[in-house]
Chain A
Amino acid sequence: MLRLEGIDAFYGDLQALAKVSLEVRDGEIVALVGANAAGKSTTLRVISGLVSPRRGRVLLDDADLGGVPAYQRVDRGIVQVPEGRRLFPFMTVAENLLLGAHAERARGDRDRTLAHVYELFPVLGERRTQLAGSLSGGEQQMCAIGRALMARPRILMLDEPTLGLAPVLVARIFETVRTINSQGVTVLLVEQNVRQALTLAHRACVLESGRLVLEGQARELLGDDRLKRAYLGL
């Protein structure tokens, strides 16, 4: 189980998160939603270790991750697909995927995981020798998710994986997230498509200006009046 306790995070003087506490239980899909600049990406970065919180703790199975540098958290099974995909553009699809298996925990099974990723996203197999920077938006997102899966994540964090994609691809990505989860991977999903995210997720958290304002069963939040007004345009 992953737990955040009273996280305050800053960029210089700007406070991006204030007293954020949340929980992601094993096997769940948790949706993290909120307006622009609410602090969703910062929350993921605090968990992956790219941003160090000024106050508060990140706990994985009750072990404090405070002193664990970002690159070592991958070996604990925490893997983030960053906003904007962030592939290595001048490297091939295959090279990007192989780099995903850099972590110790994933090296031994690398070839088996690679076959699995190509099975999940056949288009990546077809494009394996192409430069990642030359892929279409949807293919890039698949490559980014595939690269993260190469690390054999225990907890997969996805930051707006459907941003800028056509509706048919959005549905495809959501379906993939469900498949990945059904194979035993815990998922923390940041999404702009609030309705679809809440339909997919077990639980959800709503951030507003760096604060956690709502938390609960995704199905119940779908019916919440405040959320409806703010995000679902009803």
Chain B
Amino acid sequence: MDPARRLGPAQIGVLTQLVVATVLLGGIYALISVGLTLIFGIMRVVNFAHGEFLMLGMYLAFWAFVAFTADPYFVVVVAIPLFFVVGLVVYGLVMRGVIHASHNVQIFTTVGLSTVLQNVALVAWSGDFRYVRPWHLSTVLRAGSTIFNLTQVVASLIAVALTLTLVAFMKWTHAGRVMRATAQDRDAATLMGIDTDRVYRLTFAIGIAAVGAAGVLVAPLYSVYPTAGLQFVLLSYVVVVLGGLGDMLGAMIGSLIVAAVEVAGSYLFGAAWKEIFYFILFILVLGFRPAGLFGQRGAGTLGV
């Protein structure tokens, strides 16, 4: 099941293999985490339902594959606008009412949303494990002594491309500037004529579009089931805290670190242990940042 293992037999050039595995996995983790850090950085909301939107992306890939034998690479093109709209709707129905509420209220709300989405998936699609098996899953690529499969390479490339596009959007477009300005000083942004409620809506929709796209991309690499998002959401919290809350480039670096820990840990101790390593890393990170999850307020806010 574990992608680090699936890359192929590690007889020769183990180290190269591990490095390649880390980079491939890190690229995907970056796309998963970047939406979380964006939403936190600008809205100051931790979206505990982040993993469930990933799960919905996986189901989208699954059903598109079952119904039309649609390749996840192409489904991702549809997923981005689709999840953008989902983000707009969820913002209007759920998030808008709590955006200025206390952290406790926000936590209850997004945890509640997460539970609702899991149960809707359970009722609609049952708890069965589902698999997406496009042709490229069995296509093996060789680079020197290293062997890995096409699905993961392309998924990772698309994920990295999308993440970099988002970073560039935040840094160089007027809309990106407007979003960062709102994060840094909401009242001052209002005094510039910026409609901050619209900025929050847009931010949430972009974050959900990113994680929805990530869900589609990872669907062939993992099994699809109603709580499939949980395994990713834990690591994305580690990534986001590691990279600095609200720091998108930090999230990309954090993704590589988490991927390296997972790949090395799986190789040395077996894949079953990987969650232990996330937890240890998480505790270490929080230990070195005693202010914890909400203590980083303002630091480099979306300086990008």
The interface of chain A, by Cβ under 8 A from chain B, is: 48-50, 69-72, 74-75, 79-80, 82, 86-91, 95, 98-100, 102-104, 147, 151
Count A-B contacts at CB 8 Å. 68
Residue B44 interfacial (CB < 8 Å):
no
Q: A82 with B194: in contact, given A88-B181, A95-B177, A98-B177 (CB under 8 Å)?
A: no
B250-279: CB near A (< 8 Å → 1, else 0) gives 000000000000000000000000000000
The size of the chain B interface, using a CB distance under 8 A, is 21
> How far is B64's CA from A202's CA once the two chains are assembled, in angstroms?
71
**Cβ of A88: which chain B residues have Cβ within 8 Å of it?**
180-181, 184-185, 188-189
**Cβ of A151: which chain B residues have Cβ within 8 Å of it?**
192-193
Residue B196 interfacial (CB < 8 Å):
yes
**Once the chains bind, are A82 and B187 in contact (CB under 8 Å)?**
yes
The distance from the CB of A185 to the nearest CB of chain B, in whole angstroms, is 16
**Once the chains bind, are A79 and B191 in contact (CB under 8 Å)?**
yes
**Cβ of B188: which chain A residues have Cβ within 8 Å of it?**
82, 86-88
Choose one: B181, B196, B300, B303; the contact of A99 (CB below 8 Å): B181
**Once the chains bind, are B192 and A90 in contact (CB under 8 Å)?**
no
Closest Cβ neighbor of A132 among chain B residues: B184
Closest Cβ neighbor of A101 among chain B residues: B192
**Cβ of B191: which chain A residues have Cβ within 8 Å of it?**
48, 50, 70, 74, 79-80, 82, 86
Contacts A50-B187, A91-B184, A151-B192 known; 9 new A-B pairs at CB < 8 A? A50-B190, A71-B193, A75-B193, A82-B191, A87-B188, A90-B184, A90-B301, A91-B181, A98-B177
B164-197: CB near A (< 8 Å → 1, else 0) gives 0000000000100110110011011111111110
**Cβ of B300: which chain A residues have Cβ within 8 Å of it?**
90
**Cβ of A90: which chain B residues have Cβ within 8 Å of it?**
180, 184, 300-303
> How far is B180's CA from A88's CA once the two chains are assembled, in angstroms?
9
Choose one: A80, A87, A99; the contact of B177 (CB below 8 Å): A99
> How far is B190's CA from A48's CA once the two chains are assembled, in angstroms?
9
**Once the chains bind, are B190 and A100 in contact (CB under 8 Å)?**
no
B184-226: CB near A (< 8 Å → 1, else 0) gives 1101111111111000000000000000000000000000000
Q: Is the interface of B mostly helix, strand, loop or mixed?
A: helix
The distance from the CB of A116 to the nearest CB of chain B, in whole angstroms, is 18
Q: A102 with B194: in contact, given A90-B302, A91-B177, A95-B177 (CB under 8 Å)?
A: yes
Closest Cβ neighbor of A69 among chain B residues: B195
**Once the chains bind, are B193 and A72 in contact (CB under 8 Å)?**
yes
Q: Which of B48-71 contact A (CB under 8 A)?
A: none
The distance from the CB of A91 to the nearest CB of chain B, in whole angstroms, is 6
> How far is B177's CA from A79's CA once the two chains are assembled, in angstroms?
19
**Cβ of A95: which chain B residues have Cβ within 8 Å of it?**
177
The distance from the CB of A94 to the nearest CB of chain B, in whole angstroms, is 10
> How far is B185's CA from A147's CA once the two chains are assembled, in angstroms?
14
**Once the chains bind, are A100 and B192 in contact (CB under 8 Å)?**
yes
User: Which 10 pairs, one residue from A and one from B, show the smallest C-beta to C-beta distance?
Assistant: A74-B193, A103-B193, A86-B188, A90-B303, A88-B184, A71-B195, A70-B190, A88-B181, A102-B192, A102-B193
Closest Cβ neighbor of B182 among chain A residues: A88
**Cβ of A48: which chain B residues have Cβ within 8 Å of it?**
191
The distance from the CB of B175 to the nearest CB of chain A, in whole angstroms, is 10
> How far is B194's CA from A49's CA once the two chains are assembled, in angstroms?
13
**Cβ of A98: which chain B residues have Cβ within 8 Å of it?**
174, 177
**Cβ of B301: which chain A residues have Cβ within 8 Å of it?**
90
The distance from the CB of A109 to the nearest CB of chain B, in whole angstroms, is 14
**Cβ of A82: which chain B residues have Cβ within 8 Å of it?**
187-188, 191
| Interface CB pairs A-B, < 8 A, 26 | A50-B187, A50-B190, A69-B195, A70-B190, A71-B194, A71-B195, A71-B196, A72-B193, A80-B191, A82-B188, A86-B188, A88-B184, A90-B180, A90-B184, A91-B177, A91-B180, A91-B181, A91-B303, A98-B177, A99-B177, A99-B178, A102-B178, A102-B193, A102-B194, A103-B192, A104-B193
> How far is B184's CA from A70's CA once the two chains are assembled, in angstroms?
18
> How far is B174's CA from A80's CA once the two chains are assembled, in angstroms?
21
> How far is B301's CA from A82's CA once the two chains are assembled, in angstroms?
21
**Cβ of B187: which chain A residues have Cβ within 8 Å of it?**
50, 82, 86
**Cβ of B185: which chain A residues have Cβ within 8 Å of it?**
86-88
